[in-house]
Amino acid sequence: MAVSEAPREQAGPGEPWRPLAGRTVVLGVSGGIAAYKAAELVRLLTGEGARVRCVMTAAAREFIGPLTLQTLSGAPVATELFDLTQESEIGHIKLADDADLVLVAPATADLIARMAAGMADDLLTTVMLATRAPVLLAPAMNVNMWSHPLVEANVERLVGTRRVLMVGPGAGFLACGWVGPGRMAEPVAIVEAARRALTRQDLAGRKVLVTAGPTAEAIDPVRFIGNRSSGKMGFALAAAAAARGAEVTLIAGPVGLTAPLGVTRVDVEDARAMQREVMAREGGADVLVMAAAVADYRAQGQAAHKLTKEELGAELRLELTANPDILAGVGLARAERARTRPLLVGFAAETPSAGSAGDARDAELVARARGKLTRKRCDLVVANDVSTQGVGFGGDESRLLVVGKDAVEVLAPGTKAALAHGVWDQIVKVLP
């Protein structure tokens, strides 16, 4: 079958960490009680920098007024296919062509059925059929409707076209009084799915293991030896990998951060626990990114009770034992078994010598990173100058150099979310 070219240049891939910015999202609203959440969706989408154009079915207008969505989106709401004024001012083909994404939330059983049948009997279904953009459906309906074989068959048919994506539904209390699957995905989850629909899925099918945060090495049940790692870089790396389609497990030391959507989180306290969790999973991973700042030492012996001031005395001497080097351990295991998986990415947080600046400073960072690359047998080391105020540990911004055996890539300074994608761009280049 001949595929005709789009009459308009589709927006190219935007910044991967802000995939909705500058994009046009046609938000279709069909007639279910979850339609009231469309208002929140418009706010979230515009907050991401998207241009939102709302299309409402007749049934949707029984649940929420077009004025609400028009006010929030700052653009006229399209409702009619055969209204002369609307058609000349908005135009159903223009809507379909302008869309970078058609998001339908809520998508009712009726709308799903009409789409699955290839029908175009109102404005929304016409736009859904006429667009070349991905169509993302957020179904919402009664639990018995959702599990009806006809609805299941329709959903399967739509997903099978590969042009239609689904988010949710989740399980929970339904407005109809039933409890079970059928509840529309929460607006934040829908926005995340929208972001993913517009992000290049270059890590699809890959299993990724990321470590993040500090480790806390207990002295007694209350006190510990720790470090200043905030975990933000590791969490950003996990989020970016998930957004690019990877199956991500995040092994996190003690940090107060929320796991990115769709990421499996494993919490650990100390280096040995982190090592156990990494070793249990590294064999099945395609990539291991060790962004955690693993404590170099742990207290020898650990008091079972909180040490009293008297026990601590005026001077406390702690005997310290070196922690296992997790990354070097995986590097060695991989070399011994002549494996190529997982690809190993280490981090090197450095404070270059005082007085060194510019290129000399970078050269020093690279040299230290290369030392780690060889010692720990990894494929890439991400060097990070943590001596600059507000950059590196704890901050939201950072400056990174991705160091390979032969090449060095200096990433443009930016937020950790942006840099995380920059790091993955480099990893994707060397992934077998």
Residues known to be catalytic: 176
Per-residue binding string, ligand C5P, 262-281, x by CB under 6 A, is ---------x----------
Closer CB to ligand C5P, residue 282 or residue 325?
325
Q: Which residues of 18-46 are buried (b: 16+ CB within 10 A; e: fewer)?
A: bbbeebbbbbbbbbbebbebbbbbbebbb
- Give the one residue of 37, 92, 372, 421 binding ligand C5P; rule: CB under 6 A: 372
Q: Which is nearer to ligand C5P, 244 or 372 (CB)?
A: 372
The minimum distance between CB 136 and ligand C5P, in angstroms, equals 36
For 101, 198, 309, the CA distances from 163, given in Å and listed in that order, are 11, 12, 66
Report, in Å, the least distance between residue 375 CB and ligand C5P: 8
Choose the binding region for ligand C5P from 42-50, 67-75, 325-333, 417-425 (rule: CB under 6 A). 325-333
- 325, 362, 379, 385: which one binds ligand C5P (CB under 6 A): 325
Residue/partner pairs of 339-343 with CB below 8 Å, 24 or more apart: 340/432, 341/283, 341/285, 341/286, 342/209, 342/282, 342/285, 342/286, 342/287, 342/288, 343/286, 343/287, 343/288, 343/379, 343/380, 343/427, 343/430, 343/431, 343/432
Residue 235 interacts with ligand C5P (CB under 6 A): yes or no: no
Residues found in the chain = 432
Give the residue, chosen from 136, 194, 285, 348, that forms a contact with ligand C5P under the rule CB under 6 A. 348
Structure-block tokens of residue 408? 């060095």
292 in contact with ligand C5P (CB under 6 A): yes
Q: What is the DSSP letter of 304?
A: S
Taking the least distance from each CB to ligand C5P, the nearer of 107 and 212 is: 212
Q: To the nearest whole angstrom, how small is the minimum distance from the Cβ of residue 173 to ligand C5P?
A: 43
Per-residue binding string, ligand C5P, 100-139, x by CB under 6 A, is: ----------------------------------------
- Residue 312: enclosing H or E segment and its boundaries? helix 309-312
| Cβ atoms within 10 Å of 5's Cβ, excluding its own | 7
Binding site for ligand C5P (CB under 6 A): 271, 290, 292, 294, 323, 325-327, 346-348, 372
